[in-house]
Amino acid sequence: GLLAAPLVDALEGFIASTQERVTGTVTVKLEGGQARPVGRESPYGVYSASAASFNTAAVDDGIEQADATGVAKYHGFQSRLAKSVIDDANATAEAVADGGTDGSEGSEPRAENTTNGSEK
């Protein structure tokens, strides 16, 4: 069925593209029924111990520890906004279900469409 769909080809191309630089070695610790990665090494790895520590006043490229606060607020903004929109939509749906209005201000009776386009 859907294996011949263009979406499948697009997804396979995307996956192949994202995996081009996936190479390296991972050390895994097996203990107590768990598998935990405890080490990794790759020529394409973007981890930097000096950059991750923020122990210095300024890391490479002028990034300072205080910048992390702004980044966290910025990246969390979209999630907070989405939650607010969902909460508002849920509150409106609950109000309508309870016999209230749809929450729109100044709402007037809506005209119903008929087959000839006139109002009822």
Q: Are strands 34-41 and 25-31 parallel, antiparallel or unpaired?
A: antiparallel
Residue 76 is assigned to a structural domain of this protein: no
Give the model's pLDDT for residue 59. 59
Residue 40 is part of which domain span? 1-47
In the predicted structure, residue 103 carries a pLDDT above the cut 70: no
Residue 42 is assigned to a structural domain of this protein: yes
Residue 13 is assigned to a structural domain of this protein: yes
SS3 1: coil
**pLDDT tens digits for range 48-80:** 776 676 665 555 567 777 777 888 888 888 889
In the predicted structure, residue 120 carries a pLDDT above the cut 50: no
Alpha-carbon gap, residue 63 to 54, rounded angstroms: 9
- String of DSSP letters for 46-112: ---HHHHH--SSB-GGG-BTTHHHHHHHHHHHHHHHHHHHHHHHHHHHHHHHTT---S-TT--PPPP
